[in-house]
Structure 1
Amino acid sequence: MMYFIIVSCCFSFSQNKQLLYGFSEIPQSLLLNPGGKITNDFYFGIPLLSHIHSNVGITGSTVYDIFANDGIDFNTKLQHAVYGMNSKDFFSANQQLEIFSGGFSFGSSYEKNQYLSFGVYQELDFIAYFPKDLAVLALEGNQNNINRPFKTSDINVTAEAISVFHVGYNKKVNNKLTFGVRGKIYSSIANINSTKNKGHFTTTNGQNNFYNHIFNLDLEARTSGLTSLTNDESDSGSVVKDLTKRVFLGGNLGLGFDVGVTRQLDEQWSMDVSLLDIGFIRHKKDIENYKIEGNYIYEGVDPIFTDTANGQTAEDYWNAIEEDFEDIFEIDTTTAKYTTWRPIKFNASLNYAFGEKKYKDCNCTRPEKSYLNSTGLQLFAMSRPKQAQLALTAYYYRRLFNGLQVKATYTIDSYSAYNVGLGMSARLGGVNFYIMTDNFLQLKNIYNAQSVSLQLGFNYIFNKNEN
């Protein structure tokens, strides 16, 4: 249990992409708002390199808090870490890899005000809440916690690997309004979820032995896509073949959509809103579910070998205990179909543009005003099993020249209140490269960072006429 706690504290991820959101020079920003502004005529992403995203973070104690060489005893630091967290602290993971993508504008010959984008990406999503009661039980044991119920409902975890096929439509209705929608087909590669657990474990003084162990349990774990990968007949070749098939619509399928809108309030003020991943996956194939339900009593371990006269060994003794637990806890295994809902994500921002761009050869402005700078606030929210994950970001954007733009962010989220991020998009000819990193100030000691992220990618872009 302690090993699980420490490892879980080391690795977690988040889905907020505040640096990419609203960065219109990067085509992948349409994945965060299908109704966003578009600055290119058409593009295609370099396969497997157009968007790579990874973010690491934790709510609660960091790796440094536990393993720092600061002269404090390890057990003391571990106790502080466990007691300092609660059951709403979580470890989450999100990773994305774009397999291919593209987009092009269309419409009348004089105004191409519509845009079609498409692509396929692979995504890993994981969240596990900190099992506070069970961690305290593992740390303290039950001898000093007689009659205290330890909640098994703290067990709350879900993990899923999927591929997403998507097509998006964007239309600039007029100079003030742009809207967009994106349809998605999900193909689940593998899924594990255990989010509706109930019950508790209590130790009481016993009559026939030192202690009684009372289990009141209602636990369930549902899985799809795992049994066929882990059976004895699977080899590496068949596993790779099966996984490849699932990526390309051979897994458990689902449907979803994104929607977004951008509104120009006046020449300098604008706002936008998007909802992402409103959808579900229906799990029908390769299902294996596990359930334990009921009240169980175990009178505990007898510290004296009860049959030494007949040659009972320690191994025999513990094997007998193992058999007792197998008899007591009956695991019901089923293949019932089930449905999972994608974590819905909400984005909204209010933006102010300033620093009007001028012609190089005269002191005048362009007919359609263009600005070099913008600043604003962005709100992010995502549905999660226990409570929504929230983030508020203030940002500053600067167009240095036509081929180089930068963005800086300051984010307050579940991980920390001082997350500073930096992002850059550069274009040389038609080749676009972007790179973004979060929590920039904490990179000097990554083990003490609450969250660190990296996004990068390469695209080939044909831009509209530059303003």
Structure 2
Amino acid sequence: MRRIILFFIVISCSFSFSQNKQLLYGFSEIPQSLLLNPGGKIKNDWYFGIPLLSHIHVNVGITGSTVYDIFADDGIDFNTKLQNAVYSMKPKDFFSANQQLEIFSGGFSFGSSYEKNEYLSFGLYQELDFIAYFPKDLAVLALEGNQNNINRPFKANHMSVAAEAISVLHLGYNKKVNDHFTFGVRGKIYSSIANVRSTKNQGRFTTVLGQNNFYDHIFNLDLELRTSGLASLSDDESDSDSVVKDLKKRILFGGNLGLGFDVGFTRQLNEQWSWDASLLDIGFIRHTKDIENYKIEGDYVFEGVNPIFPDTGNGQTAEEYWNEIEDNFEDIFKLDTTAAKYTTWRPIKLNTSLNYAFGKKKHETCDCAIEDDSYQNSAGLQLFAMSRPKQPQLALTAYYYRRLFNGLQVKATYTIDSYSANNIGLGMSANLGGLNFYIMADNFLELKNIYSAQSVSLQLGFNYIFNKNED
């Protein structure tokens, strides 16, 4: 049983989703790039996203040991591979997940009839975010037991988890001040569908040699789990229809509410060099409804099970003996349940990039630029950073962008992040009349063996776009 528990701990912490969208960031032909930088360049007059299809994003990755490391048919004993996986992973290795589905979206330019230099965008999307750090000490305890770890403190702060499902209603404003500077801001209303958070656990568990028994188990614990939106869903009187109805209400103003905003800008340094940056999800959610919190706090000593069977001659029965042990456990780990309100802060994300544009189109019959004088290529570096409970999540990306012709653009990226140092991605945006389709994926080098891949992502969408007149 101990090895089964350990196995699921390792497997759970081997998969990870990331919120970095290096292929979409700065891809100005795709309207959804404004969600990553509200101050980005805009190349359309107006657009609307095809409902439920305009932006679908899923990203899977691995930090620490992979599934292939444990299940590979390489002649090595499974228990040995499981032990190697546990010992090689660190408490800061994590399992996280992020998924987004855009429900609807749109945008349009406005301003003077001569130059429409302002733009409004809006939409509603659903997001799932989850992170759980690898509980290294708990995994070692499950692997080795406490008999071989006398006087060793096993830390409780290795246990850290946060999960939430939310919907986000947003309105963005973008203004091109002049040819050198564009800025933007986006306001957001968060509606929490469900939330689970336990990120500030403290304490330790230590086994020492006992006096009245073989061992004494010493607990010094300060553990807390906060939840909102779950208690009513698990109510015995709730059926599937009522649960679905309740979840639908929470998508728009029916859950615990919060506010936030994004800011961003693009600075044209000269004709070919530009710099842009954005800060996303500066905001909070206040949890006041459907709250259920659990807390264990205090110092306890448990002397273990008395190996000597009860003396029935003194009137104690076997049932009373085991009931006494059960009562001792309940007294030690007394669980306090409260409905205290709490606030969660959204994970802030930073994007910034330095870009160099080059390669104007030339006439085939002369060495001169044609009427469309925009650059066909660009290359640059992008930095991504995101706040997390234990340490920031970072990624550095080098990219190359190419406009093949007016209706087709491609982008290639090379990313170094927490999962891999050789992540190659490819993205494409294509227009057929007013219909725009884009698809993006990364880590192509690892697709030959998906079980050993450090990360794999996919995002795609459909929009209807009315482009600006470039003449």
Category of TM-score, reference length = shorter chain: over 0.9
Q: Tell me the CA shift for residue 367 of structure 1.
A: 6.0
Q: Superposed, which structure 2 residues align to 1:429-440 within 5 Å? A: 429-440=433-444
Mapping 1:307-346, distance limit 5 Å:
321-346=325-350
Give the drift of 1:91. Answer: 1.1
Quick one: which of 403, 428, 433 aligns to 2:432? 428
What pairs with 1:45-56 in structure 2 (closer than 5 Å)? Answer: 45-56=49-60
The TM-score with structure 1 as length reference comes to: 0.96
Residue of structure 2 aligned with 1:67, choices 71, 80, 85: 71
Name which of 460, 463, 469 aligns with 1:459: 463
Q: TM-score, normalised by structure 2?
A: 0.96
> SS at 2:421's partner residue?
coil
CA distance in 1, matches of 2:404, 2:78: 49
Count the aligned residue pairs. Answer: 466
Q: Which amino acid aligns with 2:439?
A: I
Distance 1:242 1:53, change over 3 A: same
Q: Does 1:404 align with 2:403?
A: no
Separation of aligned partners in 1, 2:429 and 2:312: 75
**Is residue 228 of structure 1 aligned with residue 225 of structure 2?**
no
> Equivalents in 1 of 2:431, 2:441: separation in Å?
19
Give 1:162's aligned residue. 166
Alignment-mate amino acid for residue 139 of structure 1: L
Matched with 1:5 is: 9
Q: Name the structure 2 match of 1:25.
A: 29
Is 1:94 the counterpart of 2:98? The answer is yes
Task: Return the letter of the residue paired with 1:161.
Answer: A
Deviation at 1:188, TM superposition (A): 0.3
AA of the residue aligned to 1:196: K
Residue matched to 1:146: 150
Determine helix, strand or coil for the equivalent of 1:230: coil
- Amino acid paired to 1:140: E
Q: 2:141 pairs with 119, 133, 137, which one?
A: 137
| Match 2:191 to one of 187, 194, 200 | 187
C-alpha change, 1:320 and 1:455, in structure 2 (3 Å) is farther
Q: Which amino acid aligns with 1:165?
A: L
2:399 is matched with: 395
Q: Which amino acid aligns with 2:344?
A: T
Q: Distance in 1 between matches of 2:241 and 2:11?
A: 30
Q: Following the alignment from structure 2 to structure 1, what is the Cα–Cα distance between the partners of residues 73 and 139?
A: 24
AA at the equivalent of 1:291: K
Is the CA contact (8 Å cut-off) linking 1:402 and 1:466 kept in structure 2?
no
Q: CA deviation at 1:303?
A: 4.0
Cα deviations by residue, 1:379-408 (Å, 9 ceiling, x for unpaired)? 000001111110000000111111111111
The 5 A counterparts of 1:292-371 are: 292-306=296-310, 321-358=325-362, 363-366=367-370, 369-371=373-375
Give the alignment partner of residue 414 of structure 1, picking from 405, 411, 418. Answer: 418
Matches of residues 94-133 of structure 1 in structure 2 within 5 Å? 94-133=98-137
Q: Give the whole-Å Cα distance in 2 for the aligned partners of 1:234 and 1:207.
A: 51
Structure 2 CA distance for partners of 1:312 and 1:75, relative to 1, 3 Å: farther
Aligned partners of 1:320, 1:427: CA distance in 2, in Å?
73
Tell me the CA shift for residue 8 of structure 1. Answer: 1.0
Alpha-carbon distance in 2 for matches of 1:458, 1:368: 26
Secondary structure of 1:174's aligned partner: coil
Structure 2 CA distance for aligned equivalents of residues 409 and 40 of structure 1: 24
Task: Output the CA distance in 1 between the equivalents of 2:320 and 2:59.
Answer: 48
1:312 and 1:396 map into 2 onto residues whose CA distance is: 78
Deviates more, 1:163-172 or 1:457-466: 457-466
Identical columns (%): 81
Mapped contact 1:347–1:379 kept (Cα < 8 A): yes
Backbone CA RMSD of aligned residues:
1.7
- CA shift, 1:369, in A, is 3.1
- Contact residue 355 and residue 380 of structure 2 kept, 8 A: yes
Query: Any idea what the Cα deviations from partners look like across 1:182-225, whole Å, max 9, x if unmatched?
Result: 00000000000011111000001111111100000011111100
Cα distance in 1 between the residues matched to 2:459 and 2:279: 21
- Give the aligned residue type for 2:278: S
Structure 2 distance, partners of 1:348, 1:199, is 39
Whole-angstrom CA distance in 2 between matches of 1:124 and 1:360:
51
After TM superposition, the structure 1 stretch with the greater mean CA deviation from structure 2, 80-89 or 297-306, is: 297-306
Which letter maps to 1:387?
Q
Separation (CA, whole Å) in 2 of partners of 1:161 and 1:394: 32
CA–CA distance in structure 1, aligned partners of residues 229 and 146 of structure 2: 37
Contact 1:275 1:346 in 2 (8 A): yes
**AA of the residue aligned to 2:35:** L
Question: Which structure 2 residues correspond to residues 152-301 of structure 1 after superposition, within 5 A?
Answer: 152-301=156-305
Unaligned runs of 5+ in 2: none
Mark the CA change 1:320 to 1:369 in structure 2 (over 3 Å): closer, same or farther.
Answer: farther
Contact 2:204 2:221 in 1 (8 A): yes
Name which of structure 1's ranges 5-14 and 198-207 shifts more when overlaid on structure 2. Answer: 5-14
Q: Secondary structure in 1 aligned to 2:248?
A: helix
What per-residue deviation string (whole Å, max 9, x for no partner) do you get for residues 442-463 of structure 1? 1111110111111011111111
Provide the secondary structure at the position in 1 that maps to 2:232: helix
AA partner of residue 106 (structure 1): F
The amino acid of 2:230's aligned partner reads L
Give 3-state SS (helix, strand or coil) of 1:260's partner. Answer: strand
The question of whether the paired residues in 2 share the 8 Å contact of 1:305 and 1:312 is answered with no
Structure 1 unaligned runs (5+)?
none
After TM superposition, give the deviation of residue 85 of structure 1 in Å: 1.0
Q: Does the Cα contact within 8 Å between 2:378 and 2:402 map onto a contact in 1?
A: yes
Distance change (3 Å), C-alpha of 1:150 and 1:274: same
> What is the Cα deviation at residue 105 of structure 1?
0.6
* CA pair 136-107 structure 1, distance change in 2 beyond 3 A: same
Instruction: Please give the residue correspondences for 1:375-394 in structure 2 after superposition, counting only pairs within 5 Å.
Output: 375-394=379-398
